[in-house]
Homo-oligomer: A and B are copies of this chain.
Amino acid sequence: MKKLGFIGLGNMGKGMALNLVKAGYPLTIHDVRPEPVQELVKAGAKAAGSPREVAENSEIVITMVTSSPHVEQIMFGDDGVLAGMKKGNIIIDMSTIDPIVTRKVAAAAADKGIDMMDAPVSGAPPKAADGTLSIMVGGKKELFDQCKSILDVMGEKVIHVGEVGMGEVVKLANNLAAAIAGVGMFEGFLFGVKLGADPKVLYEVMSASSGNSWVLQTRVPYPNVIPGSPANDDFAPGFTTDLMAKDLGLILSAAEATNIPLLAGSLTRQLLEAARAAGYGSKDWSVIARIIQQLAGEDEK
Contacts and interface: CB of A to CB of B under 8 A. Distances in A.
B295 A211 contact: no
A162 B201 contact: yes
A177 B170 contact: no
Contact of A196 (B169, B198, B209, B251): B169
Contact of A169 (B162, B178, B179, B191): B191
Given A136-B205, A162-B198, A190-B260, A175 B265 contact: no
A104 interface: no
Interface residues of A, number: 71
Interface in A162-206: 162-163, 165-166, 169-181, 183-185, 187-192, 194-198, 201-202, 204-206
Contacts of A255: 191
B271 A206 contact: no
A296 interface: yes
A99 interface: yes
Contact of A214 (B201, B212, B271): B212
Contacts of A178: 184, 209-211
A34 interface: no
A263 B195 CA distance: 17
A208 B170 CA distance: 12
A184 B181 contact: yes
A261 interface: yes
Nearest to A176: B188
Contacts of A195: 99, 165, 169, 173, 254, 258, 260
10 contacts: A134-B208, A162-B198, A169-B191, A171-B205, A178-B209, A184-B268, A259-B296, A263-B267, A263-B271, A264-B264
Given A177-B188, A213-B214, 8 more contacts: A162-B201, A173-B191, A179-B184, A180-B181, A187-B263, A194-B260, A195-B258, A211-B214
Interface of A: 99, 122, 134, 136, 157, 159, 161-163, 165-166, 169-181, 183-185, 187-192, 194-198, 201-202, 204-206, 208-216, 218, 251, 254-255, 258-265, 267-268, 271, 292, 295-297
